[in-house]
Structure 1
Amino acid sequence: MVRVTFYGGVNEIGGNKILLEDTEKSLLLDFGFPYKRHKMFFEEYLCPRGAAGLLDPLTMELIPPLKGLYREDLQTPQFWDNFKDKSQYRTIENIDGILLSHAHLDHSGHISLIRGDIPIYSTATTAFLAKAIQDSGKSGLDQQICYYNPNKYDIPAGWRQSSYTSDRAEPSIQRQFRLGDIDPSLLNSQSIDFWSVGFWERSARQKQMDSRSLEKSDLSGFNMKCFPVDHSIPGACAWAIETNSGWIIYSGDLRLHGKRPELTREFVEQAKLLNPEALIIEGTNAGRDKNASEQDIFINAMQAISGGDKLIIADFSPRDIDRLLTFLRVAEEYDRNLAILPKDAYLLKTLRLLDLNIPDVNENDNLYIYQKTTRPSDLWIRNLATDYERKTILADEINAAQDEFILCFSFFDLNELPSIRPAEGSLYVFSSSEPHDEEQEIDFRRLHEWLRHFKFKSIGLPEEIDGKWEIPENETGLHASGHASGTDLLDIAREINPRKLIPVHSENPGFFVENLSGDDIEVMLPSPGGSIDI
């Protein structure tokens, strides 16, 4: 008998934390950041305290109380005495690996708290993206997915309160990634160098890293299959695990209307051949059937921009490379330039290591990197600016040629507008992969004020209707969800035809009960922290 316990992703979108146990063996299926619950308690200036180690996320029930799972440098020997009375408390030590479906933080974020000796299984693209996102992002405790900084627990000089602080005497430790889709020996030398070192140093005081070479996916005791699928971030995959009860399929996040639907269709065909005992499937869009394709986005963006002679801002989800390339295509069609941010350039440079179809910023005539007004503290941004010196663009240069640029900005970049001085009638195109982004809480009311102040026109931007923020009906064609529609989810389930179906990553799991009642599929609804025996 196999036991599957659901510590996250139940009755919520994201935060997947699923434990699969088969006799003496066990796996975690993702270990994501629960944005919805996090926002119940925290905001930008009220955050979990990194100096308190595991205390805040455990106390606020953002992570399950599983003694033995987490990094020892974030806990003291007596730490767990405070959590033994929790209903989900248990000791768990023999985790054979984490099957990571993709690099979105709602699936990967809390890996940062897990022991460093537990291997992570992913596609090569997901591994490289995880490193690039960390290299170019914040250095906080909840960002240490690919590598982490060991902590020490002590009392700083002149202080009475003990705390966890980074041990500067110890090198950073890279986690062990094992690739499910590519033999690491086939990677080129530039890819190996990136994995072990990176493109640019983060800071002049950057610590050395105890790097670990990429390995092949070879998990003793489990027969696993990795299936690439289409999602709103490159490298997404589904997993199949052969257990004593039969094959169990974990879909991760997937869609059929994106740029690579053939990947998801191939997964469905192969999963069906396994005659699976159970399918753990995402249900983000359960009950919703409208989904524009990436080609629809291109056509609708072309129409929205047609005839415009002012500055255009394109706002889309971070790390949505498909959307970035769509707007690059739009820019090329209208003889404009696409100005991206340094983090975007870092991701493109990373992905090009694995896919030469990804454009080279230095070689593409229509790609530029916007250089912000504030001098960055991160050394990698300054080094990037040096390497791409002839492709950097400044606010004054965009101001002088506003009809020649599409600027990739989000809400959090709008403080650059006073320097750019956009002309009245400039266009703000809101084109998120989700109408309300899973990873960022956008203050739409404040966004509207910015656009009103600078006299922007907008399209695709949610408006407040009866207390809810909704995209105008005639402007929804600029949004392509990263998740399959309700109809597509049912088609996927019926085609794979598992004996049992378990919906996760959904606020409407009952959708599957209602619509599969006439099929020979038993729908089993998980409960938070509850287990299902298969």
Structure 2
Amino acid sequence: MKIVIYDGANTIGGSKIHVEECNNGLFLDFGMNFAKYSLYYEEFMSERTARGIYDLWHLNLLPKLNIYRRDLIPRDLVNEVTRYPKVPANAVLISHAHLDHVGNVALLDENISIVGSPTTIAILKALNDTSGGGSHFGMEIPYYKVKKNKDSEGYILEADKKSHYPSRKVILSEAISSFHDFLFYRPGQESPKAKKIIPSDVKSLNDEDLGFEIKAFSVDHSIYGATAYIIEGDVSLAYTGDFRLHGKSGNETRKFIREAKNASILITEGTRTGREEHENVSEQEVYENALKIVEEAKGLVIGDFSARNFERLESFKEIAEKTERELIVTAKDAYFLHALKMVEGVDRLKGLRIYGNFKASQQKWEELVVWSNYAEYYISPFEIRKNQEDYILCFSFYDMPHLLDVMPNGGTYIYSSSEAFGEEQEFSFLRLWNWLQYFGFEVHGFRINGYGKPIFEKGLHASGHISREELRGIIDEVNPDYIIPVHTENPMWFRNNWGEKAVVLRNGESWEV
């Protein structure tokens, strides 16, 4: 078995791992490396989609391989790309729906199947539906817009407005037949002239031969649907993806750990190995701490947590019920919860309200899915304004302008998400602080110091990643022959703890066993 870490060897995110044996190959994730992207791009400056993968290729933001969609390669890049190897790739195994693990999958050759849990695929489909085109291609999963040459030289690419949307072959970790209608439905395609999604095959891992025996295991993470994999070839390999023990589904992670004891190779994340941490906040502690704040809160409460952190959303829903308030989510949140319902059959929107913001028109996904199915859930900002003490509003920094319609008279703001990880994010927190001060909010979770820098409080956010000490215990429990660290800024921690058993690779390096 040959393993190549193409990206993510010494950064948190950007995981791109290739496993090859007997002319069969798999990618384990194929994510965006935000650390590398940030060297060249920022929020309002991204790759030029009219040039396909040209910018990403020349800035070394993609592995130099001949594995990308033909329609994304402009004519002046074709000869260069074809000089590079075309490694075997029967499929890409997606661990979860965070872009640092899946954000470059849409660039891969369209014949490469995607493997993931039904929940992960549903979230990715909802991301695509609601992206509105986006500034890069990362959202185009599982369906995508075909690109064609706009000019005769083939330098400029544009979406083919006449072509329907092809979709990739989808391989689910478990079979769910009722999911197909949602997977191949694009809101608005009812019109005879509208472009439609061209259905592809949907199989389950048990029904598909990918050259390896593959077992998928649900694990606990800060997004639903997270999956770890065990791959059986001549040797057995276990891949954790991102995982933890301190969420509500920690027992699922334990099941994977028990199975991983038979693996010879463990490829594991090490997000928190470079951090000196003396406490490991659990999701239960976050719930309890936030509940105490809301119980004492006067006026409107705003809960700010990461997009698609549905476990945290459900915690705030429970807090709302206990404090006799109603939880209000955005229309986009509602669409994602609808997508989860299509997979799991659980109506997580029941008992929630949907914020009806003032805008000129609704996009098709909101008009035809959210409004059509949940119109009675909508609540206007004026209604919130009249009875502010009755609600918890799920808003983040980018929703702040809508507060000018609600006009809060003070209130409580709970920041329940990750800390800033760059200078631009620090500026965003300063702007957020200005909004909150304007409306007179009592702020929990962070504050701005005298130098204009955000200072974060503990206890209102639980990491999506396993703590360093728990990871040490898991590796000792699994006791693999070899450990390959990824998704970490401190790969040498593994060498220091397990000596030669730790195979520390740099990006692009290969290792065979």
1:529–1:202 CA distance, 2 compared to 1 (3 A): farther
1:320–1:357 CA distance, 2 compared to 1 (3 A): same
2:386 maps to 1:400: yes
Structure 2 counterpart SS, 1:335:
coil
CA contact 1:285–1:485 (8 Å) conserved in 2:
yes
Specify the alignment match of 1:422 in structure 2.
408
Write the distance in 2 (CA, Å) between the matches of 1:171 and 1:267: 40
Specify the alignment match of 2:99 in structure 1.
105
2:45 maps to 1:46: yes
CA contact 1:368–1:391 (8 Å) conserved in 2:
yes
Percent of pairs with identical residues: 33
Write the distance in 2 (CA, Å) between the matches of 1:202 and 1:268: 46
2:286 maps to 1:297: yes
Write the distance in 1 (CA, Å) between the matches of 2:143 and 2:479: 39
Write the distance in 2 (CA, Å) between the matches of 1:203 and 1:293: 48
CA contact 2:102–2:138 (8 Å) conserved in 1:
no
Write the distance in 1 (CA, Å) between the matches of 2:42 and 2:132: 16
Specify the alignment match of 2:145 in structure 1.
149
User: TM-score, structure 1 length as denominator?
Assistant: 0.89
Structure 1 counterpart SS, 2:35:
helix
CA contact 1:202–1:380 (8 Å) conserved in 2:
no
Alignment match of 2:397 (pick from 408, 411, 416): 411
Alignment match of 1:207 (pick from 167, 184, 195): 195
2:107 maps to 1:122: no
User: C-alpha displacement at 1:309, in angstroms?
Assistant: 2.1
Specify the alignment match of 1:486 in structure 2.
468
CA contact 2:446–2:454 (8 Å) conserved in 1:
no
1:35–1:459 CA distance, 2 compared to 1 (3 A): same
1:170–1:316 CA distance, 2 compared to 1 (3 A): same
Write the distance in 2 (CA, Å) between the matches of 1:119 and 1:134: 17
Specify the alignment match of 2:2 in structure 1.
3
Write the distance in 1 (CA, Å) between the matches of 2:244 and 2:466: 4
One-letter code of the match for 2:478?
A: I
Give the paired residue count.
504
Specify the alignment match of 1:391 in structure 2.
377
Specify the alignment match of 2:441 in structure 1.
456
Write the distance in 2 (CA, Å) between the matches of 1:511 and 1:463: 33
Write the distance in 2 (CA, Å) between the matches of 1:117 and 1:398: 49
Specify the alignment match of 1:530 in structure 2.
509
Specify the alignment match of 1:179 in structure 2.
172
User: C-alpha displacement at 1:220, in angstroms?
Assistant: 3.8
2:263 maps to 1:263: no
User: C-alpha displacement at 1:382, in angstroms?
Assistant: 2.4
1:76–1:448 CA distance, 2 compared to 1 (3 A): closer
Query: In the TM superposition, what are the counterparts of 1:434-473 in structure 2 within 5 Å?
Result: 434-436=418-420, 441=425, 443-461=428-446, 463-464=448-449, 469-472=454-457
Specify the alignment match of 1:335 in structure 2.
324
Gaps of 5+ in 1: none
One-letter code of the match for 1:326?
A: S
User: TM-score, structure 2 length as denominator?
Assistant: 0.93
Alignment match of 2:72 (pick from 63, 71, 74): 74
User: C-alpha displacement at 1:524, in angstroms?
Assistant: 1.4
CA contact 2:188–2:194 (8 Å) conserved in 1:
no
CA contact 2:76–2:154 (8 Å) conserved in 1:
no
Query: In the TM superposition, what are the counterparts of 1:293-372 in structure 2 within 5 Å?
Result: 293-359=282-348, 361=349, 364-365=350-351, 367-372=352-357
Write the distance in 2 (CA, Å) between the matches of 1:129 and 1:348: 9
User: C-alpha displacement at 1:132, in angstroms?
Assistant: 1.4
Specify the alignment match of 2:182 in structure 1.
194
Specify the alignment match of 2:211 in structure 1.
221
Specify the alignment match of 1:139 in structure 2.
133
One-letter code of the match for 2:17?
A: I
User: C-alpha displacement at 1:510, in angstroms?
Assistant: 2.0
2:223 maps to 1:237: no
Write the distance in 2 (CA, Å) between the matches of 1:323 and 1:201: 33
CA RMSD of aligned residues (A): 2.3
| Superposed CA offset, 1:471-515 (max 9, x none) | 13xxx1110111100011111111111111011101122222233
CA contact 1:14–1:35 (8 Å) conserved in 2:
yes
User: C-alpha displacement at 1:155, in angstroms?
Assistant: 1.8
CA contact 1:501–1:523 (8 Å) conserved in 2:
yes
CA contact 2:147–2:157 (8 Å) conserved in 1:
yes
User: C-alpha displacement at 1:261, in angstroms?
Assistant: 0.6
CA contact 2:17–2:29 (8 Å) conserved in 1:
yes
| Superposed CA offset, 1:216-266 (max 9, x none) | 11224211111111111111111111122x101111000000011110000
Structure 2 counterpart SS, 1:40:
coil
1:513–1:468 CA distance, 2 compared to 1 (3 A): farther
Structure 2 counterpart SS, 1:399:
helix
One-letter code of the match for 1:57?
A: L
CA contact 1:203–1:379 (8 Å) conserved in 2:
no
User: C-alpha displacement at 1:449, in angstroms?
Assistant: 1.3
CA contact 1:128–1:351 (8 Å) conserved in 2:
yes
Write the distance in 1 (CA, Å) between the matches of 2:407 and 2:302: 13
Write the distance in 2 (CA, Å) between the matches of 1:446 and 1:129: 30
Write the distance in 2 (CA, Å) between the matches of 1:431 and 1:72: 42
One-letter code of the match for 1:225?
A: K
| Residue range with higher mean Cα deviation, 441-450 or 160-169 | 160-169
| Residue range with higher mean Cα deviation, 289-298 or 456-465 | 456-465
One-letter code of the match for 2:317?
A: L
User: C-alpha displacement at 1:142, in angstroms?
Assistant: 2.6
CA contact 1:203–1:378 (8 Å) conserved in 2:
no
Write the distance in 1 (CA, Å) between the matches of 2:33 and 2:361: 30
Write the distance in 2 (CA, Å) between the matches of 1:464 and 1:15: 32
Write the distance in 1 (CA, Å) between the matches of 2:227 and 2:388: 40
| Residue range with higher mean Cα deviation, 131-140 or 263-272 | 131-140
Write the distance in 1 (CA, Å) between the matches of 2:84 and 2:396: 42
Structure 1 counterpart SS, 2:39:
helix
